[in-house]
Amino acid sequence: MKMKIEFYKYHGTGNDFVMIDNRNNTFQKSKNVIEQLCDRRFGIGADGLILLENDTDTDFRMVYYNSDGNQSSMCGNGGRCLVAFAKKLQLIENTTTFIATDGLHHATIDENHLVSLQMKDVATIKIAENYMFLDSGSPHHITMVDDLKALNIKDLGAKIRYSELYGAEGSNVNFVHQIAENEFAIRTYERGVEDETLSCGTGATAVAIAMNANKKTNANSITIQVEGGTLEVSFIENNGKYSSVFLKGPATFVFNGTIEIN
């Protein structure tokens, strides 16, 4: 039996998502269906799929799946794109609160589709000899490199993601190069996508916090250059705890349509 699905496609600095309005709860949450929709050759093509659902206490609920069809932890760029999608559906105007897997989020969107999304507070940061680790809504391994462009991110990222360091659950992996006092370039391997993505919002957030925590910068507003564009991360630091963490960047509508799948 074939199923017709109405969808919207968005990207946040190249990190792309299939968006579905599931307020009527009719979408079939099947791993195979989600994989097929995200497939870049046989489906719409995306790094992940996001359902916008009803929530009793906030404007809406965010349910996020990686392109492998599995439900996942928080996605920062996906959250920003979902805010733009909610505005397109006329659910919100310029401010919103919504619930995601890691808790409550506040966000604003301006007339240029720039979305500023409040991320979770961070109080625990591991600073090891050759890497850092923290959870910014999703787990992130962070390592600094001299030559970012020369790296084979898929191979290097997979080696760390599947290492004994993180077990079966794994971690996202970020490679970082410092450009200026308050500017860093990153490339990210995302678990669930199992490849490099053009941008990772929780990764950019994690890197900005980690660079402040290990004294690579004293800035509390940091520019992160990702492969797909530019993101900004700001925060308040107090005795090693990071609060009022905001991820800001464009959320771009690409196209919408319907697709028929088995």
> Which active-site residues does the annotation give?
75, 200
- Please give the Cα distance from 94 to 113 (Å, whole number): 10
Give Cβ neighbours of residue 190 (< 8 Å, ≥ 6 apart).
47, 66, 172, 196, 197, 200, 203
Encoded tokens for 125? 């940061």
- Please give the Cα distance from 103 to 41 (Å, whole number): 34
DSSP element (H, E) containing 13: none
Task: Tell which residue, 177, 169, 166, has the closest CA to residue 143.
Answer: 177
Give Cβ neighbours of residue 81 (< 8 Å, ≥ 6 apart).
10, 11, 12, 17, 19, 50, 115, 251, 252
DSSP element (H, E) containing 243: strand 241-250
Query: How would you classify the pairing of strands 60-66 and 95-100?
Result: parallel
Number of alpha helices (DSSP H) and beta strands (DSSP E) in the chain: 4, 17
**Which amino acid is it at 189?**
Y
Give Cβ neighbours of residue 63 (< 8 Å, ≥ 6 apart).
22, 50, 51, 53, 71, 101
